[in-house]
Amino acid sequence: MSVDARELFLKAIPHLDRDGLIEGHPSKLWATIDPFHADRLQRMGEYIQEWIDANLVIRYDTGRDTVLFFTGFRKNNPNIKYEREATSPYPPPPGWIRTRAGLVPNDPDLRWVIAEQYDPRSSYRGALYRRLMTTHDQVTTKSRHHPDQLTKKIKIKMLLLIKP
C-alpha cells in the first residue's frame, strides 16, 4: 500500500461511526479526512481501492450512498461503549446485522472466530454467542436433532476453527 494510502487510512479512523462505517464517495471522504491536500482529491478513489485490496475495508452500496466498512475497527476498539455512541446513519454491510452490542456477522463460523478474540466479560462477545445460540435453536427446530447432539457438533466445529 502506498504511503499516501496508509496516511489517509489512519486519518479516516477518527471519523468512523460506532460500527466502523464512513461515507465511501471519494470526494466526500476526501472532504472529511484530508480537505487541505487538494492534490489528493483526484486519486482518492485509488487510495480507497488500495484499502480494499489490502482487505482493510469493504465497500458497499446502500442505494443512496456508498459506504466503507473498516473490518478491523471493532477488534481494535474492544472496550467501546457501543450504547453511548451515536447511532450509525448507514445500514450494516451485506452479511452483517446490527445488534445492541454492535455489528454481528450472519456467518456462524465467522461469529465463533470473532467471539474467541474478545474477553469473556465483553458484551460484544455475548452478543456473538447469543446470535450463535439463536441460530442453534433454529437449526434444532428445523432438523429435529436433539439439542445436546447439536451443541456437541457446534463445540467440535468451534475447536476446529480455533486450532492453529
- CA–CA separation, 68 and 29 (whole Å): 10
Query: Cell 446490527, residue?
Result: 98
Residue scoring higher pLDDT (88 or 128): 88
Average of per-residue pLDDT values in the chain: 83
Query: Cell 478491523, residue?
Result: 72
CB-based contact 42:48 (threshold 8 Å):
no
Q: Is it the case that residue 64 has pLDDT exceeding 80?
A: yes
CATH topology of domain 1-92: Arc Repressor Mutant, subunit A (1.10.10)
Residue scoring higher pLDDT (149 or 65): 65
> For residue 37, what pLDDT is reported?
94
Q: Where in the chain is the domain with CATH 1.10.10?
A: 1-92
- CA–CA separation, 44 and 38 (whole Å): 10
User: CB-side exposure of 43: number of CA atoms within 13 Å?
Assistant: 13
Residue scoring higher pLDDT (68 or 156): 68
Q: pLDDT digits over 13-41, tens only?
A: 999 999 999 999 999 999 999 999 999 99
pTM above threshold 0.85: no
> For residue 119, what pLDDT is reported?
82
